Amino acid sequence: QVQLVESGGDSVQAGEALRLSCETSGFTFSAYSMAWFRQAEGQGREGVASIARDGTIRYADSVQGRFTISKDNTRKILYLEMNSLKPEDTATYYCAANMHIVLYWYSLQSDQYQHWGQGTQVSVSS
């Protein structure tokens, strides 16, 4: 059974940093492209960062230069390092997985992903 479990969300002040983790099980981690999405209250789900099987990365413009996505294929964990947090980063953050044959495939479109975690809340106050 595929499982994705996010952790690391917290309430912080603007300018501070957080590191989110997504622990996975039940699938061959290295065969999947992974991504982080977020959803603010009353808004749609937004792609934040995606990492392909070969390590190719794509960020949303809103987080470029502040967030870093990474993965540990041995431990099967996806990370999101978030620096210089802003109030507009407040949202529930989700990790997602999609099995794809193309090594360099990535996407920030939520409908491209098959598996999702339950989310972890990040709140940033000014």
> What CA–CA distance (Å, rounded) separates 3 from 24?
6
Q: Residue 101 has what pLDDT? A: 87
Q: Residue 24 has what pLDDT? A: 97
| Residues written for the chain | 126
pLDDT in tens, 92-123: 999 999 998 888 999 999 999 999 999 999 99
pLDDT in tens, 44-90: 999 999 999 999 999 999 999 999 999 999 999 999 999 999 999 99
Burial of 45 (0-12, 13-18, 19+ CB in 10 A): middle
Q: Are 46 and 39 in contact (CB under 8 A)?
A: yes
pLDDT in tens, 9-38: 999 999 999 999 999 999 999 999 999 999
- As given in the structure block, the two tokens for residue 19 are 């590191």
